[in-house]
Structure 1
């Protein structure tokens, strides 16, 4: 991957709807080489896909919480069962397995506090192998969906 590839990636991170013509112009390439580079980045898996960023508030999803999960067991079956189950909870918009005392961090969005409480009581607490859940409420997102730092400063 060279500097031109990094420029292409930086531009499409900012606007994934750029036409190849606009992108080629921004990175200083002609159309065909730019298109070839994009295809190569897609085929190599560097570009994993394209999607729209939605405003949760505009969709009525005004409540956000972080939930730390501790599992009873850490064996492969317990981990796989938990991860398979958490993938089926649509309100979990991000889930990370952690090193340390806590096993997972879940980023949750719901409409409001009562919706979160129902989700917590009826779904999160019943996930396989859960020993303990610890929640904290998100007051404000300061950095969200930031582009990856591709171009050296």
Structure 2
């Protein structure tokens, strides 16, 4: 959105409802945010064109899909050369088990969110896929006990 167009409360309401259910019809979305369908659709299209709404997707129950163990992983690296770091990043980003991957300022250097079937699957993932990557100095794993709030 340009500097002239700002996200107002109606836009925030639209975003909230679409985050809850991306399959809402325009008519139902308009009803929930207090608009008639044509201006509601215009706002949604404007939010899409501005890159604020970046897509629509299905939410998956990972436990039902056989990947019920979520592990938050921190990685510290022992190198600072760009080529090694790019190799590490492209290798980890390609793993199906890794559903979120961030580089951080400070220590640890990287944070991952990993979904696997169980503890044995995570042990195999860490042992066979993470530990041998050039530059990895330390891996800290924290299995998730309970999700309190998740916004996709």
- Alignment TM-score, normalising by the size of structure 1: 0.87
- Runs of at least 5 residues in structure 2 that lack an aligned partner in the other structure: 1-6
Identify if the C-alpha distance between structure 1 residues 114 and 39 changes in structure 2 by more than 3 Å, giving closer, same or farther: same
Q: Which residue among 74, 95, 114 is the counterpart of 1:108? A: 114
- Runs of at least 5 residues in structure 1 that lack an aligned partner in the other structure: 148-153
Shift of 1:146: 2.6
1:121 aligns with 2:127: yes
RMSD of aligned Cα (Å): 1.5
1:146 aligns with 2:151: yes
Could you tell me whether the CA contact under 8 Å between 1:85 and 1:128 is conserved in 2? no
1:105-143 residue CA offsets vs partner (Å, 9 max, x unmatched): 111111111111111111111234212212122222222
Greater relative contact order (CA < 8 Å, ≥ 6 in sequence): 1
Shift of 1:42: 0.5
**Poorly superposed stretches of 4+, deviation over 3 Å:** none
Shift of 1:27: 1.2
1:46 aligns with 2:64: no
Q: State the alpha-carbon separation in 1 of the partners of residues 45 and 116 from structure 2.
A: 37
Partner of residue 137, structure 2 = 131
Q: Which moved more, 1:40-49 or 1:129-138?
A: 129-138
1:24 aligns with 2:3: no
Partner of residue 105, structure 2 = 99
Shift of 1:101: 2.0
SS in 2 for 1:133: strand
Shift of 1:100: 2.0
Aligned positions of 1:8-87 closer than 5 A = 8-87=14-93
Could you tell me whether the CA contact under 8 Å between 1:72 and 1:130 is conserved in 2? yes
